[in-house]
């Protein structure tokens, strides 16, 4: 057992040489910048929906933001930069697991480490999906997240136990939204910023901007999960459209124009926070 454990430690050490390499860190910062820009674009698309600016806007979600980039001058090149940067960020984020995994060997820290590893893995998966999607757009492939999400939901509802599975996914998305909302209200997101490297005068501003962003994202994702649960309960997949569906649902309620404007501003604020994190990234996984 000791020999096996030593081999595992050696393998992890070699993997960390890759995930901790300065080059990957710089590429991950490019990914964080791209992540921030995408959120600013999502905020702009949500604002267009709220105020009906111009022709029918692209979906107010990640694919809509990528479509906006694709239609800009030099869009294909930018999509390659975004895609590769996001994949680097995914690998860098996954490296957090390698930094804390030994806690799984200690009974007193096992649960907390498992939760941290799960969060880091989930974040890495989100970044990877965004990176792959950006590369799809870069090579000219067509993809609509809202339509695909609706199709997957419809297919799932047709199989035995599918309704329960869709409900579980919806509850999970809503839980992520609630977690994001709480993180915004408590300022827990500041652990991802290297405050020692950031000027003291910037800290309150970064916290206020980040708080607004996390609260907006939390509300949107919680609503998205709720709409998915509703789709499963009513077997009407028209509401299962992900983030864009949540944005349009907000716009459809009384005073929705102003509520969606607030959410749009929040998403843009999250984008600015991501840019600040790119400038002062921290690798503290909060174990």
Chain segment 40-71, per-residue pLDDT in tens: 999 998 898 888 755 555 677 888 888 888 88
- Which structural domain range is residue 202 located in? 2-279
Please check the confidence at residue 142 and state whether its pLDDT lies above 80: no
Arithmetic mean of pLDDT over the chain: 82
274 pLDDT above the threshold of 90: yes
In whole angstroms, what is the distance from residue 177 CA to residue 183 CA?
10
Pull the structure tokens for residue 29.
């910062």
* Number of neighbouring beta carbons within 10 Å of residue 17: 10
* Residue 135 placed within a domain: yes
Residue 128 has pLDDT above 80, yes or no: yes
Residue 7 has pLDDT above 80, yes or no: no
- pLDDT greater than 70 at residue 13: no
Q: Is residue 182 in a domain?
A: yes
CA pair distance 176, 219, nearest whole angstrom = 10
- Is residue 152 a part of any domain in this protein? yes
Residue 249's CB is within 10 A of a number of other CB atoms, namely: 19
Please say whether the beta carbons of 231 and 240 come within 8 A.
yes
- Residue 135: both structure tokens together: 């590369």
Closest C-alpha to 104, from 82, 121, 89:
121
Question: 287 falls in which pLDDT band (50, 70, 90)?
Answer: very low
pLDDT for 148 beyond 90: no
Q: What mean pLDDT do residues 148-165 have?
A: 76
**pLDDT at residue 275, as a whole number:** 92
Q: Is residue 197 a part of any domain in this protein?
A: yes
pLDDT in tens, 187-213: 888 888 888 788 888 889 999 999 999
Structurally, how many domains does the chain consist of? 1
Say if residues 210 and 268 touch (Cβ distance below 8 Å).
no
Average pLDDT over every residue of 26-48: 91
Two tokens at 22?
A: 């300065």
Question: Whole-angstrom Cα distance, residue 272 to residue 166?
Answer: 33
Is residue 214 scored above 90 in pLDDT? yes
**Is residue 266 included in any domain, yes or no?**
yes
Q: Residue 242 and residue 30: Cα distance in Å, rounded?
A: 26
pLDDT band at 9 (very low <50, low <70, confident <90, very high): low
Q: What pLDDT, on the 0 to 100 scale, is given for residue 56?
A: 55
pLDDT at 186: 92
pTM: 0.84
- Give the count of beta carbons closer than 10 Å to the beta carbon of residue 195: 15
CA distance 97 to 117: 5
């Amino acid at each position: 057992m000791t020999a096996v454990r030593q081999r595992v430690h050696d393998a992890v050490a070699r993997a960390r040489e890759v995930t901790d390499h300065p080059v990957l860190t710089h590429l991950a910062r490019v990914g964080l910048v791209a992540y921030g820009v995408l959120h600013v674009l999502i905020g702009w698309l949500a604002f267009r929906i709220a105020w009906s600016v111009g022709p029918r806007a692209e979906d107010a979600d990640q694919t809509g933001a990528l479509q906006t980039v694709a239609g800009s001058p030099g869009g294909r090149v930018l999509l390659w930069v975004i895609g590769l940067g996001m994949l680097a960020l995914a690998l860098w984020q996954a490296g957090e697991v390698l930094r804390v995994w030994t806690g799984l060997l200690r009974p007193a820290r096992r649960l907390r480490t498992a939760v941290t590893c799960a969060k880091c893995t989930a974040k890495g998966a989100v970044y990877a999906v965004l990176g792959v999607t950006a590369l799809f757009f870069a090579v000219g492939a067509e993809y609509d997240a809202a339509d695909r999400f609706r199709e997957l939901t419809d297919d799932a509802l047709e199989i035995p136990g599918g309704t329960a599975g869709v409900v579980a996914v919806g509850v999970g998305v809503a839980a992520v939204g609630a977690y994001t909302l709480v993180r915004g209200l408590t300022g827990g997101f500041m652990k991802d910023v290297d405050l020692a490297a950031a000027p003291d005068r910037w800290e309150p501003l970064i916290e206020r901007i980040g708080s607004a962003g996390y609260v907006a994202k939390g509300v949107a994702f919680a609503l998205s999960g709720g709409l998915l649960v509703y789709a499963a309960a009513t077997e009407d997949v028209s509401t299962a459209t992900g983030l864009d569906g949540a944005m349009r649902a907000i716009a459809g309620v009384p005073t929705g124009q102003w509520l969606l404007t607030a959410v749009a501003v929040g998403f843009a604020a999250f984008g600015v926070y991501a840019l600040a994190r790119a400038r002062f990234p921290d690798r503290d996984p909060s174990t």
